[in-house]
């Protein structure tokens, strides 16, 4: 088993269970020294995609899952790591049970752009499902998002 730190849609344990059925949620915590941001708008999706970047003054709420080898390929496919869109990095996560070294995905694209309102809603719902603090979820829901033009 290897520890995986989810900060995006995989924060939702139900969604993660569908994608990686052998990967149980272990705990939640904070990725200190990183911030949630968006990028990759040029790839043609409905807005920018979630990623994290180093920032000594920020932190990102994460869920830690134990991912066995049989789920790694599936997760890489879901996160487009198999296409090179995201790359894996090792991070230290502060949890109530101590520090955990985990891997996570970082977008291999320029930072910038706005996510769609629907994508931002899915991220906030996922954070809420993982029991993120209410103020963290509220900040996600208040972030600027891309206008749909409707």
Catalytic residue of the set 18, 41, 79, 128: 79
Alpha-carbon Rg for the chain, nearest whole angstrom, is: 15
> For residues 105 and 91, what is the distance between their CA atoms, to the nearest angstrom?
10
Give me 5's structure tokens.
């730190």
110 is in an annotated binding site: no
Residue 84 backbone dihedrals phi, psi, to 5 degrees:
95, 0
Respond yes or no: is residue 58 known to be catalytic.
Answer: no
> For residues 60 and 145, what is the distance between their CA atoms, to the nearest angstrom?
19
Residue 51 backbone dihedrals phi, psi, to 5 degrees:
-155, 180
Maximum C-alpha span of the chain: 47
> For residues 53 and 11, what is the distance between their CA atoms, to the nearest angstrom?
18
Q: Which residues are catalytic?
A: 79
Q: List, as residue ranges, the binding site for substrate.
A: 119
Q: List, as residue ranges, the binding site.
A: 119
């Amino acid at each position: 088993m290897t520890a995986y730190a989810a900060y995006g849609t995989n924060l939702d344990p139900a969604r993660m269970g569908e994608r990686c059925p052998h990967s149980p949620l272990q705990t939640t915590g904070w990725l200190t020294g990183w911030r949630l941001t968006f990028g990759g708008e040029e790839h043609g999706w409905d807005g920018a995609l979630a990623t994290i970047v180093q920032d000594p003054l920020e932190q990102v709420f994460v869920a830690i899952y134990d991912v066995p080898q049989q789920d790694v390929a599936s997760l890489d496919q879901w996160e487009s790591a198999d296409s090179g869109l995201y790359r894996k990095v090792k991070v230290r996560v502060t949890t109530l049970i101590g520090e955990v070294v985990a891997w996570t995905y970082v977008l291999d694209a320029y930072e910038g752009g706005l996510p769609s309102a629907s994508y931002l809603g899915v991220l906030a719902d996922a954070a809420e499902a993982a029991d993120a603090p209410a103020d963290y979820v509220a900040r996600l829901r208040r972030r600027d998002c891309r206008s749909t033009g409707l």
